[in-house]
């Protein structure tokens, strides 16, 4: 096995629950051969390690030969997957449906056509209930096979019914494929650039939608088609910063699960929809709805039938942490956020290391902004430096850009006038390279460039006022407003002009906004 394969086997073993490990050993022990005993021994040795080391295993077990290890590990990996398939066969709906189809095929091959039909009917009911269109097509294929081997009253009608059902399922699959294909294209753009920056970005995503969106009537779409459609439209409106429409479709997405019995079956998709809804509510500063959904997300494990596997646990933890930071940003509770982060930092650092590169980058940025809001600019630069040096500039170029801008402001706040020219040149080079110098960036970089440490306080405040006056008209510009999503620079400027903490300015605005929302709700 390659190094990557070794890591995969080790990670697979480490991801197993106690019950899954016990089941694996029972599963392998049934064979009772000497090779199976070796599997269990290798499994135990790898499970005991904190980091994988083949050398340590060979020292610990002298019956293992180095030349045999590659085959032994490959077979162990296969056996673990076989045991997991058996372990999950009673709980994973797709495995249960496939098992019924497999049984139907066995019966068909033995010419037990009536029994085969009964088995296929069970599989079809289950596939229809769980909206599994691909397996439905497989079932229809076998129903046609059976019809070709039997003659009976009403056969022609049954053939016509199956043909109509196949056409309907194919149309629905085509819709889902079209929605998901467009979504993948939008996601690729978003992961590279972030929110749409200019007219060219807006025209590009609009063109993708216009050319590739299939004709549809929303009310006629199935549950699963709607899930894919709403996911696509939420991402499209987020990408183009239309968070009002994004919120509408995210709410539709979550509302598909009004029957909470469906949540356990589609927990991953439900949580993703709830996460998108909370992102929209955060961007729109809808505090009360946001807090209610945050509580709903944190208590999801209390619903009947919920099982959190390792993948769901990681995603849920990511969503909860991310929105906890967003809550602090909304109300200006930066000090509380920093104090909490200080307490959980070791476990949060460990958690961040498990995330994908994009999620890790976003988490670094949120932590940096948390420290910035609390006036701890040295700590903010520490987390911004992680972004700047991460070496993944093709992931979220926007986050890289604004990390550099905030880093400049932090050094200004810290009085590091000697390093500001260096960071200023570096930031200019990066933004020019990424074609990301718009009015917002030009105004801020020009402001920092012309600052002079010999300025009086009155002159400095005048410079802050001038920059604020330059930036305010951009808040409503379709191609400039994205900058204010990343950083509330207006509140920072007001804090400098008024000689107050930026957290106090944000908190004051939040209290007025939340109070107004309460009046509206009443």
Q: Residue 395 falls within a domain, yes or no?
A: yes
Which of 60-69, 172-181, 304-313, 411-420: highest mean pLDDT?
172-181
pLDDT in tens, 488-518: 889 999 998 999 998 899 888 888 887 766 4
Are both 236 and 304 inside the same structural domain?
Answer: no
Are both 412 and 473 inside the same structural domain?
Answer: yes
3 state DSSP class of 151: coil
Helices (H) and strands (E) in the chain, counts: 25, 0
Are both 226 and 368 inside the same structural domain?
Answer: no
Least confident of 161-170, 384-393, 469-478: 384-393
Per-residue pLDDT band at 84 (split at 50, 70, 90): confident
Phi, psi of 438 (to 5 degrees): -110, -175
Last residue of one domain, picked from the residues 331, 353, 383: 331
Task: Compare 77 and 397 and report the one with higher pLDDT.
Answer: 77
Q: Residue 138 falls within a domain, yes or no?
A: no
Last residue of one domain, picked from the residues 211, 240, 269: 240
Supply the pTM of this predicted model. 0.78
- In our burial notation (b when 16+ CB lie closer than 10 A, e otherwise), range 265-299 reads ebbebbbbbbbbbbbbbbbebbbebbbebbeebee
DSSP letter for 453, please. Answer: T
Mean pLDDT value across residues 102-123: 92
Least confident of 48-52, 278-282, 328-332, 346-350: 346-350
Q: Residue 358 falls within a domain, yes or no?
A: yes
Are both 399 and 512 inside the same structural domain?
Answer: yes
Q: Residue 509 falls within a domain, yes or no?
A: yes
pLDDT in tens, 179-234: 999 999 998 888 877 788 788 888 888 999 999 999 999 999 999 899 999 999 99
- How far apart, in whole angstroms, are the C-alpha atoms of residue 74 and residue 260? 41
Last residue of one domain, picked from the residues 62, 88, 114: 88
- How far apart, in whole angstroms, are the C-alpha atoms of residue 339 and residue 503? 14
3 state DSSP class of 264: coil
- How far apart, in whole angstroms, are the C-alpha atoms of residue 91 and residue 344? 35
> What number of other Cβ atoms are within 10 A of residue 200's Cβ?
10
Cα 312 to Cα 14, 153, 283: the distances in Å are 16, 50, 25
In the block, tokens 């088995």 appear at 119
pLDDT in tens, 402-451: 898 899 889 988 988 888 888 888 888 888 887 767 888 888 888 888 87
Are both 375 and 497 inside the same structural domain?
Answer: yes
**CATH number of the domain that residue 413 is part of:** 1.25.40
Are both 430 and 360 inside the same structural domain?
Answer: yes
Structure-derived torsion over alpha carbons of residues 253, 255, 257, 259, reported in degrees to the nearest 10: -160
Are both 201 and 251 inside the same structural domain?
Answer: no
- How far apart, in whole angstroms, are the C-alpha atoms of residue 140 and residue 146? 10
Cα 23 to Cα 16, 27, 37, 311, 326: the distances in Å are 10, 6, 15, 20, 42
Residue 310 clears pLDDT 80, i.e. is over it = no
pLDDT in tens, 122-147: 999 999 888 889 899 999 999 988 88
Q: Residue 135 falls within a domain, yes or no?
A: no
Q: Residue 442 falls within a domain, yes or no?
A: yes
pLDDT of residue 519: 40
Please name which of 32, 46, 50 lies closest in space to residue 76, comparing C-alpha atoms.
Answer: 46
- In our burial notation (b when 16+ CB lie closer than 10 A, e otherwise), range 408-445 reads bbbbbbeebeeebeebbeebbebbeebebebebbebbb
Are both 493 and 420 inside the same structural domain?
Answer: yes
pLDDT of residue 522: 38
Q: Residue 97 falls within a domain, yes or no?
A: no
* 206 close to 229: Cβ distance less than 8 angstroms: no
pLDDT of residue 304: 81
Phi, psi of 85 (to 5 degrees): -65, -45
In the block, tokens 């293992």 appear at 64
Are both 290 and 436 inside the same structural domain?
Answer: no
DSSP letter for 217, please. Answer: -
- How far apart, in whole angstroms, are the C-alpha atoms of residue 447 and residue 450? 6
* 468 close to 494: Cβ distance less than 8 angstroms: yes
Are both 312 and 411 inside the same structural domain?
Answer: no
Number of domains in the chain: 4
Are both 449 and 516 inside the same structural domain?
Answer: yes
For the chain, give the mean pLDDT. 86
Residue 1 clears pLDDT 50, i.e. is over it = no
Residue 6 clears pLDDT 70, i.e. is over it = no
Residue 103 clears pLDDT 70, i.e. is over it = yes
- In our burial notation (b when 16+ CB lie closer than 10 A, e otherwise), range 328-359 reads bbbbbbbbebbebbeeeeeebeeebeebeeee
Q: What are the start-end ranges of the H helices in 61-154? A: 66-88, 93-109, 113-129, 133-147
| Domain limits for position 430 | 344-522
Are both 359 and 452 inside the same structural domain?
Answer: yes
Q: Residue 108 falls within a domain, yes or no?
A: no
pLDDT of residue 19: 85
Q: What is the 3-state secondary structure (H, E, C) of 379-416?
A: HHHHHHHHHHCCCCCCCCHHHHHHHHHHHHHHHHHCCC
């Amino acid at each position: 096995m390659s190094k990557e394969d070794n890591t995969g086997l080790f990670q697979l073993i480490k991801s197993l629950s106690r019950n899954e490990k016990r089941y694996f050993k029972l599963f392998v022990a049934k064979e009772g051969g000497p090779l199976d005993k070796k599997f269990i021994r290798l499994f135990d040795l790898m499970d005991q390690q904190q980091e994988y080391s083949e050398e340590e295993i060979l020292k610990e077990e002298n019956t293992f030969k180095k030349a045999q290890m590659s085959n032994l590990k490959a077979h162990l990996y296969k056996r673990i997957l076989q045991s997991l398939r058996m372990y999950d066969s009673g709980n994973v709906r797709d495995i249960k449906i496939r098992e019924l189809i497999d049984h139907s095929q066995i019966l068909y091959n033995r010419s037990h056509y009536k029994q085969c039909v009964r088995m296929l009917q069970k599989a079809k009911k289950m596939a229809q209930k769980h909206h599994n269109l691909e397996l439905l097509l497989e079932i229809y294929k076998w129903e046609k096979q059976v019809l070709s081997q039997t003659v009976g009253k009403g056969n022609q009608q049954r053939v016509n019914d199956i043909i109509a059902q196949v056409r309907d399922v194919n149309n629905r699959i085509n819709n889902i494929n079209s929605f998901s294909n467009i979504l993948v294209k939008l996601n690729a753009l978003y992961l590279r650039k972030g929110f749409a920056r200019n007219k060219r970005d807006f025209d590009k995503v609009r063109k993708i939608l216009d050319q590739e969106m299939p004709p549809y009537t929303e009310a006629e779409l199935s549950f699963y088609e709607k899930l894919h459609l709403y996911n696509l439209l939420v991402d499209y409106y987020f990408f183009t910063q239309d968070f009002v429409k994004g919120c509408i479709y995210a709410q539709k997405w979550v509302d598909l699960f009004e029957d909470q019995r469906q949540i356990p079956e589609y927990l991953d998709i439900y949580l993703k929809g709830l996460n998108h809804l909370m992102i929209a509510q955060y961007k729109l500063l809808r505090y009360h709805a946001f807090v209610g959904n945050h509580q709903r997300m944190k208590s999801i494990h209390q619903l009947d039938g919920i099982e959190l596997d390792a993948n769901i646990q990681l995603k849920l933890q990511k969503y909860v942490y991310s929105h906890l930071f967003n809550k602090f940003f909304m109300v200006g509770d930066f000090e509380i956020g920093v104090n909490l982060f200080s307490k959980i930092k070791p476990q949060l650092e460990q958690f961040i290391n498990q995330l994908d590169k994009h999620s890790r980058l976003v988490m670094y940025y949120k932590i940096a902004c948390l420290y910035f809001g609390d006036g701890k600019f040295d700590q903010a630069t520490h987390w911004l430096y992680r972004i700047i040096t991460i070496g993944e500039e093709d992931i979220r170029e926007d986050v890289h850009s604004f990390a550099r801008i905030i880093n400049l402001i932090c050094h200004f706040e810290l009085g590091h006038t000697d390093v500001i020219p260096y960071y200023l040149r570096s930031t200019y080079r990066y933004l020019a390279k990424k074609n990301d110098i718009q009015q917002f960036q030009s105004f801020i970089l020009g402001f920092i460039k012309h600052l002079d440490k010999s300025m009086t306080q009155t002159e400095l405040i005048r410079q802050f006022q001038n920059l604020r006056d330059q930036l305010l008209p951009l808040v409503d510009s379709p191609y400039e407003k994205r900058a204010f999503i990343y950083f509330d620079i207006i509140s920072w400027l007001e804090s400098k002009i008024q000689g107050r903490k930026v957290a106090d300015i944000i908190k004051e605005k939040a209290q007025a906004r939340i109070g107004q929302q309460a009046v509206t709700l009443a």
